[in-house]
Amino acid sequence: MELSPAQCVANGQRARVLNNTIAALGASDTSLFGQAAPPVRSRPSFLSQSRAAFWVVVASFVAFSIKLAIAWNTFGTNDVISFYQFAVFLNLHGLEWTYTHEIAFNHPPLIAYFLIAIYKLSQIPVLDENGVSFPFLLRFPGIVADLVTVWVVFRIVTLARLKTPAWALMLFALSPVSLMISGFHGNTDPVMVMFLGLATLACVQEKPVLSGIFFAIACQIKIIPVLLMPIFLLYWWHRRASLKYLGSAVLISIALWSVALLKFPVTFARNVLSYGSFWGLWGITYWLRLSGWSEFARVTYHDFTLAENIVGSTLKLLIIAAVVLLAWRRRRLGSRQLLDSVAYAWVLFFIFSPGVCAQYLVWLAPFVLLLSPRFFAWLTATSSVFLFFFYNAIAEKFPWYIGISHGGHNAEWTPWSAWPWGVLITAQIILWRTAKQRYPSLRFLSLEPFTPELSA
- Specify burial of residue 244 (Cβ count, 10 A radius: 0-12, 13-18, 19+): middle
- Residues paired with 402 in a beta bridge: 76
- The CA-atom distances, in angstroms, between 76 and each of 73, 106, 138, 175, 263 are 9, 20, 10, 18, 34
pLDDT at 10: 44
Interatomic CA distance for residues 323 and 317, integer angstroms = 10
Predicted pLDDT at 29: 41
CA angle in degrees (0–180, nearest 5) for 205-208-212: 120
From the CB of residue 443, how many other CB atoms can be counted at a distance below 10 Å?
12
Q: Could you tell me the pTM of the whole model?
A: 0.88
Q: What share of the chain is helix, strand, coil (3-state, %, to 5)?
A: 75, 0, 25
* Sign of the C-alpha dihedral computed for residues 170, 70, 385 and 188 taken in this order: positive
pLDDT of residue 409: 85
pLDDT in tens, the chain (456 residues): 444 444 444 444 444 433 443 333 333 344 444 443 344 344 444 447 788 889 999 999 999 999 999 999 999 999 999 999 999 999 999 999 999 999 889 999 999 999 999 999 999 999 988 989 999 999 999 999 999 999 999 999 999 999 899 999 999 999 999 999 999 999 999 999 999 999 999 999 999 999 999 999 999 999 999 999 999 999 999 999 999 999 999 999 999 999 999 999 999 998 898 777 788 899 999 999 999 898 898 888 777 889 999 999 999 999 999 999 999 999 999 998 999 999 999 999 999 999 999 999 999 999 999 999 999 999 999 999 999 999 999 999 899 999 999 888 888 999 999 999 999 999 999 988 887 787 777 777 777 877 665 554
Q: Cα–Cα distance between 414 and 421 in angstroms, integer?
A: 11
Which distant-in-sequence residues (6+ apart) come within 8 Å of 247 by Cβ? 209, 212
